[in-house]
Amino acid sequence: MTVTVESHVARLEDELRPYYGIHKITWRNLMSARGAEGFWETLGQLYHAMNLGVPLMRAAGRRASTLGPEYAEFAHWCEHHAEEEAPHVEWLLNDVAKAGRDRQAMVDAFPEPEILAFMGTQFALVEQVDPIAILGYIYVAEGHPNQPDGLQALAERFDLPLEAFDTLLFHTEADTEHGEEIAELIERYATSERRNQAFIASGRAFLTGWSSYFRRLSTQSPAQS
């Protein structure tokens, strides 16, 4: 995404750049070490992150609605975005089933501690700092979508069924538009240093949480995971 040098989003990108790099390296290491199983295990944890993301946005909207007129538009955006994202959780489970995997096993699998930790951080920021903080995590998640060519290459390299990628491929296009919308919201709401720091904390927790999960998983044998 292109941002102006003086923008608050540019500052967020600068602060998070080292964490983006670690995220990419740990993901590549995981796929090299675990291949297809690393992909399926990560997809299972993505389901949990997505499933927690919807109540997170609703919690942020409820909290924002108690904080006065300044937050009214953001509260409405949270409700709208939560409704928009809610069906995508089911889409992901359907992709798993179409690919011949056990969707119920994905639902029943326990969320890994790294995923619980970084999503828990988002809930804590909503309640203790500022509900608008979650724009940092959402910007990182949706402002840097996967590229279709990269997903295609991943499927070919590890002989993964393309049906497993339908929801991910949908987001390669949809998240480009969403990322621009979220960047505009960050620019609008970055009215204090405290809020800028909250955006950074939110995005950093997301990136370091996934990186920690990838790193741990890449060192485990399938029997341990």
**pLDDT tens track for 158-206:** 888 888 888 888 877 665 667 788 999 999 999 999 999 999 999 999 9
Q: Of 132, 164, 122, 126, which Cα lies nearest the Cα of 146?
A: 164
Answer yes or no: is pLDDT of 29 > 70: yes
Q: Of 198, 196, 65, which Cα lies nearest the Cα of 134?
A: 198
Q: Determine which helix (DSSP H) or strand (DSSP E) holds 116, and give its type and residue range.
A: helix 113-128
Angle at 219 between CA 217 and CA 221, to 5 degrees: 85
- Neighbouring CB atoms inside 10 A of 102's CB total 11
Does the model's pTM come out above 0.85?
A: yes
First to last CA, the chain: 35
Is the torsion defined by CA of 210, 142, 176, 8 positive or negative? negative
**pLDDT tens track for 103-162:** 999 999 999 999 999 999 999 999 999 999 999 999 999 887 677 788 888 888 888 888
Q: Where are the beta strands (DSSP E) in 34-188?
A: none
The length of the chain, given as a count of residues: 225
